[in-house]
Amino acid sequence: PNARVKRDQQQEAVVVDGTSFSLNGDNFSYRFHVDNDTGDLLSDHFGGSITGDIPIETVAAVNGWVGEQGRVRREFPDQGRGDFRVPAMRIRQAEGYTVSDLQYQSYTVVQGKPPLAGLPATMGSESDVTTLIVHLYDNYSAVAADLSYSVFPRYDAVVRSVNLTNKGTGNITVEALASLSVDFPYENLDMVSLRGDWAREAHRERRKVEYGIQGFGSSTGYSSHLHNPFLALVDPFATESDGEAWGFSLIYTGSFSVQVEKSSQGFTRALLGLNPSQLSWPLGPGETLSSPECVAVYSNNGIGGMSRRLHRLYRNHLMKSRFATADRPVLLNSWEGLGFDYNQTSIYQLAQEAADLGVKLFVLDDGWFGDKYPRTSDTAGLGDWVPNPQRFPNGLAPAVRNYTAIVTANTSSHLRFGIWVEPEMVNPNSDLYHEHPDWALHAGPYPRTERRNQLVLNVALPEVQEFIIDAVSNILNSADITYVKWDNNRGIHETPSPSTDHAYMLGLYHVFDTLTTRFPNVLWEGCASGGGRFDAGVLQFFPQIWTSDDTDAVNRINIQLGTSLAYPPSAMGSHLSAVPNQQTGRTVPVSFRGHVAMMGGSFGLELDPATTPEEDKAALPGLIALAEKVNPIILTGDMYRLRLPEDSNWPAVLFISEDGSEAVLFYFQTNPNVNHAAPWVRLQGLDPQAMYSVDGNATYSGATLMNIGLQYYFDSDYGSRVVFLERQ
Ligand code: DGJ
């Protein structure tokens, strides 16, 4: 275990001593230096705070390997000169060489955080963040690499990206580029990642880092359900609350790669960045390729501490939306309730019933558009963003006027209206496809494979970007629409070139940036068949993302807690749906469904009240009121995963408001507990000296609540409690 050393407050975030670089946060230091013999950057430390001189790693000197690149820890490993581990970049020169020799030139320090051209990035003022840029240069190929390190000291975070510039006269091709590369010393580590598939996203996977290469990634064109662009390296003994944990989160929505290599000397290298299998990026003279950013946080209080640092950083320095930490309206989404099967009357009735229950925002999901090719199933209409005249004979504006005239129960406020779109896609059965078949991604003569009967528009093309921006702007200008759910329901196949993948993403970010800047009062929600694009790139623009198409409450505990490893709960869309559940067939009580759903920042209903059993329906207004009460704490509070569903029959989560004055405990029992004691759940993160009232009844000290805890009994399976704590 490390000694918990706090930063000497006098120590600057960035300290440069000759050619030694030191980055310092409240609880961490990151050090590297220039090797005087080779001009290479060598890594010294990423971990708990250190001060002053440091001992030199002796393995090379002892074994006579001085100058051997494969035997040292390197800060930005280029390739071709004896480091046989995975490189952080590979450049193919016009002559075919893939050797690079990037040597240290100089550095720059800037207060604040320069933007990253065309890519989502963390942001901060001069008092929040300091940036060190280290300039490297390859004299043989005339390629420059600028490594950017932005230190957010209060978050124990350093954010890295790389700019590669061709300063020569010939063309080169970038074939690999990692945003972040880090070489750890010889020690045992575990790696934690999030894997899954459609409707079972974000399953936590923990395994030992073994000798050799292990990794994961996405080549789907999107961050994907399969693997999330997030990695944690942790001490093998680290738990949720104790031990060292390093969290790495890539701010990117496209294909990515995460590689972890334990080398012959026992060093562990971690690389996160663009996926080399989807990259072949030509750089002409004077051109630059910027990598996405990768955030690295250090925690000396376990995996939970790592997540809380990421959550705070993302809420305060990544999410641009004005709603990032603002209360979210309780919504009802039409998808699970009515699907494609509605008409003018039944959809209005759904909105009316939602408002009667206390819902504040009605979301019209798929099926509202398409004229000649009406979208009444998933076989037609994508691309034709005009209201279906059968369903909306007078267009959207009068219909929306009707919806927003409805007053929601027990308030004087009017129902708000939101809409679903999937603008990156086209059905071959559409006017758009007939007009612009070439806009759909395709690779020459190869067949265009359809998934869910649809093709992907080539968002790398400026004309496609303009089409999407215009189509969505027209919808938003046509009626009083204050919420958009932006869906995306298939992966990219048959790209014309490997670089299309990244070019698509740059185009998509341009579209997101333009639209969210143009419509700042719209609450945007991301979605990709559920959580297929739950990533930090999307969060820059959209403050919430639909977490999964699996709304089964038991599965959702797992999915939501998995997602929370990297992303703030405030960003999760989570809805109470009907039973038996559409994906799993399971029936659980309405209170359990509601309690799980209100652990996400955007709580909603996904059912048809007209077919909801009376008993469940009667419980909905109370659950909505409770969700509204806990919402501010979920949106800005710190999350403690007290017990994980994979470890316990009694998963529990605590949220503590930023100022520590309020907390809310979610306590669940999944299986029945017959004739057996139930364990106490010990709380975390409270002030041991302070007194807390528990649900307005008993009052206990923080010390008692953290060292004894609370205990609840249920007389059946699927028991749940939401418990309020107020600091006295
Ligand atoms: C997939 C989404 O995840 C669902 O919530 C729903 O919007 C459907 N698409 C609509 O086609």
Helix or strand run (H / E) with residue 135:
strand 130-138
Q: Ligand 1 pocket: which of 222, 425, 489, 556 to mutate (most atoms <8 Å of CB)?
A: 489
Question: What separation in Å is there between the alpha carbon of 680 and the centre of ligand 1?
Answer: 39
H helices within 360-495, ranges in order?
A: 396-405, 431-435, 462-478
- Residue of the nearest CA to atom 9 in ligand 1? 529
Q: What is the pTM of this model?
A: 0.97
Candidate of 201, 224, 549 to mutate for ligand 1, largest count of ligand atoms within 8 Å of Cβ: 549
| Ligand 1 site, residue 529, Cβ cutoff 6 A | yes
C-beta of 546 in contact with ligand 1 (< 6 A): yes
Sign (positive/negative) of CA torsion 98, 101, 105, 111? positive
Residue 529 CA: nearest ligand 1 atom is 3
H helix or E strand, kind and range, residue 353: helix 344-357
Q: Is 573 in the pocket of ligand 1 (CB under 6 A)?
A: no
Task: Decide: 487 in ligand 1 pocket, CB within 6 A.
Answer: yes
- CA-nearest residue, atom 2 of ligand 1: 529
Residues 488 and 266: their CA atoms lie apart, in Å, by: 42
Contacts 24+ apart (CB under 8 A), 581-584: 581/550, 581/551, 581/552, 581/553, 582/336, 582/551, 583/199, 583/549, 583/550, 583/551, 583/552, 583/555, 584/550, 584/552, 584/554, 584/555
Q: Which among 200, 333, 334, 335 is the best mutation to test ligand 1's pocket, defined by most ligand atoms within 8 Å of the CB?
A: 335
Q: What is the mean pLDDT of each run of 10 residues along the chain (728 residues)?
A: 62 93 96 93 96 85 79 94 96 95 97 95 97 97 98 98 97 98 97 98 98 97 97 98 98 98 96 96 98 98 98 98 95 98 97 98 98 98 98 96 96 96 98 98 96 98 98 98 98 92 97 98 98 98 98 98 98 98 98 98 98 98 98 98 97 98 98 94 98 96 98 95 98
Is 366 close to ligand 1, i.e. is its CB under 6 Å away?
A: yes
Residue 11: what pLDDT? 81
Does 574 sit in the ligand 1 pocket, CB within 6 Å? no
Look at the chain and count its residues.
Answer: 728
Predicted pLDDT at 7: 66
Cα(161)–Cα(183) distance, rounded to whole angstroms?
16
List the beta strands (DSSP E) in 156-211.
157-166, 172-184, 190-195, 203-208
Q: Which residues are catalytic?
A: 487, 549
**Can you tell me the distance from the alpha carbon of 493 to that of 506, in angstroms, rounded to the nearest whole number?**
18
Cα-to-centroid distance, 335 and ligand 1 (Å):
7
Q: Taking Cα atoms as reference points, which of 574, 507, 509, 504 lies closest to residue 536?
A: 509
CA of 525 to the centre of ligand 1 (A): 12
What separation in Å is there between the alpha carbon of 599 and the centre of ligand 1?
21
DSSP state of 77: -
Residue of 197, 224, 365 to test ligand 1 pocket, by largest number of atoms within 8 Å of CB: 365
For the Cβ of 365 lying below 6 angstroms from any atom of ligand 1, the answer is yes
Pocket of ligand 1 contains residue 422 by CB under 6 Å: no
CA distance linking residue 477 with residue 484, whole number of Å: 13
Instruction: Please give the distance, rounded to the nearest whole angstrom, from the Cα atom of residue 549 to the centre of ligand 1.
Output: 7
Nearest CA to ligand 1 atom 11: 366
Angle (CA) 324-327-329 rounded to 5° is 110
Asked whether 297 and 310 are in contact (CB, 8 A), the reply is yes
- Ligand 1 center to residue 487 CA distance, Å? 7
Does residue 654 contact residue 668 with C-beta atoms inside 8 Å? no
Q: Contact at 8 Å (CB) between 456 and 490?
A: yes
ipTM of the complex: 0.99
- HSE toward the beta carbon, residue 151, CA cutoff 13 A: 25
Q: How much is the pLDDT for 69?
A: 85
Ligand 1 near 335 CB (within 6 A): yes
pLDDT at res. 674: 93
Per-residue tokens: 608: 């048809």
DSSP code at position 528: B
pLDDT value of residue 9: 61
Q: Which atom of ligand 1 is nearest to the CA of 530?
A: 3
Ligand 1, atom 6, residue with closest C-alpha: 335
**Each residue of 686-700: pLDDT tens digit?**
999 999 999 999 999
Q: How far is the CA of 670 from the centre of ligand 1 (A)?
A: 28
Output the CA 561–ligand 1 centroid distance in Å: 22
Q: Which residues pair with 233 in a beta bridge?
A: 191, 246
pLDDT score recorded for residue 67: 76
The closest residue, in CA terms, to atom 4 on ligand 1 is 529
Choice from 197, 546, 548, 581 to test ligand 1 binding pocket (greatest atom count within 8 A of CB): 546
From CA 112, how far away is CA 92, in angstroms rounded?
34
